[in-house]
Amino acid sequence: MASRSESQESGVNEDLDSANIVKVDEPVGNLSKYYALPPGFSGTPKKGHLMFDACFESGNLGRVDYITEFEYDLFIRPDTCNPRFRVWFNFTVENTAPYQRVIFNVVNFSKTKSLYREGMTPLVKSSSRPKWQRIPAKNCSYYRCPDHRKNYVLSFAFAFDSDTDVYQFAYCFPYTYSRLQTFLEELDKKNMACYRRELLCLTVQQRRVDLLTVTSPENMKDDLKKRVIFITARIHPGETPSSYVCQGVIDFLVSSHPVAKVLRDYLVFKIVPMLNPDGVVLGNYRCSLMGFDLNRHWQEPSPWAHPTLVACKNHLMQLDEDENVHLDFYIDIHAHSTMMNGFMYGNIYDEEERFERQAVYPRLLCANAEDFSMSNTSFNKDAVKAGTGRRFLGSCLDPKTHCYTLEVSFFSYNTAVSQGMSPYTEEGYFKLGRNVARTFLDYYKLNSLVVPTKKNVSKSSQRKDSNGDGKQRLSGRSDYSGKL
């Protein structure tokens, strides 16, 4: 499988992993309505001559090599202005023959470690079946290929069962910039008093970066003491699960759920749901339009190269300096390509009390969310992470501010009671987001160092959250939680 001629393999450059070598002629643009034709063929393409396309929002496929009528080598287009990152793919195939069977080999991944080793498979949908499904694991393999200078290759077999459908294949569930804008516009139409949307800044390509505020109308007064939770997502464009988790947070906070109402009464939520819109639209995996990994530039972002970071950082600093604001949390949502479950990264501090306080929220989230893993959660101060939001903000914000990276697997999760892995779905990511939001109630009730800035929770709410003996439930699965 995935064979290549020696002449086509000439010329190499170094990849992310020193042992992983790729060709210098990596594609620089996406394919647009490209027919993969047999060598020497001329004339009009026939049924079964597959047409590949990735020239759409968040699309990525840079090249296709025809091997045989049953096999094709596929090349991921590297991130714009940065050939080191080649992970995300998202493309369509049409002009299929009835019951045509093929093998696709994705031959130029920049990572050797991958959840494909653990059973993860690509997603597929078609025009007649628009719901994403995973290709069966028995039809996929991830292996080191000697015909591609020992690069790791993902091969998967697929049978096209219709000659009229357009089939779409993707690394993970896509979540586009347009989808986010549509979601926010629908929220705008509801004219909710608890919700405000404003323009934080424009990207290099002049796209909106939205800043959402969710709280009770009373808390929006500038002179009122308030506690703020700041959440960001999608700084890495290929980490699409982070957008689903973030939408789950937003959906819950603006809902009529009693926990959401209490949270709005006590707290102000500031949310930037997409920090890298240009990279998302372009179909990059990790970088911005200009090839920057934005999550390594928090220390000294450039207004011309990293405008979204400059705007977000400035807003955070203003909140931190405001005497009427207690900035309690900063959470940056990501997706992880080699680990299972949801989990968190936190910072290591010299002060034992500060370290102990920041361990509280992850433990509560673990009690509320069956897919969250405390064993995967860790606290560190790696030098290579110094430019990340979690590390930088943890060093410069008020010491009482908890700074986390929330990670969620691209693939699946294990639970204490389940047998085997449970693959994530779009709904599964939404649910994690809802659990992230409602866990804040448990945190503020438990943490005696935090005093609510408004009225106490109503007695009826206290009764709903009591287990009958005056103790607060740590599991979060009381009547208060409702159906998620």
Q: Which residues are catalytic?
A: 407
CA–CA separation, 156 and 74 (whole Å): 11
CA–CA separation, 6 and 3 (whole Å): 10
Residue of 164, 161, 162, 144 whose CA lies nearest to 153: 144
**Sequence-distant (≥ 6) Cβ neighbours of residue 355 within 8 angstroms:** 348, 349, 379
CA–CA separation, 483 and 457 (whole Å): 21
* Neighbour-count burial for 308-337, b at 16+ CB within 10 Å, e otherwise: bbbbbbebbeebbeeeebbbbbbbbbbbbb
Q: Which residue has the tokens 């697929």?
A: 158
Which residue type occupies 184? Answer: L
CA–CA separation, 16 and 22 (whole Å): 10
Q: How many helices (H) and strands (E) does the chain have?
A: 10, 23
Cβ pair 437, 260 in contact under 8 A: yes
Element (H, E) at 188: helix 177-189
Q: Sort strands 378-380 and 342-347 into parallel, antiparallel or unpaired.
A: parallel
Cβ pair 476, 370 in contact under 8 A: no
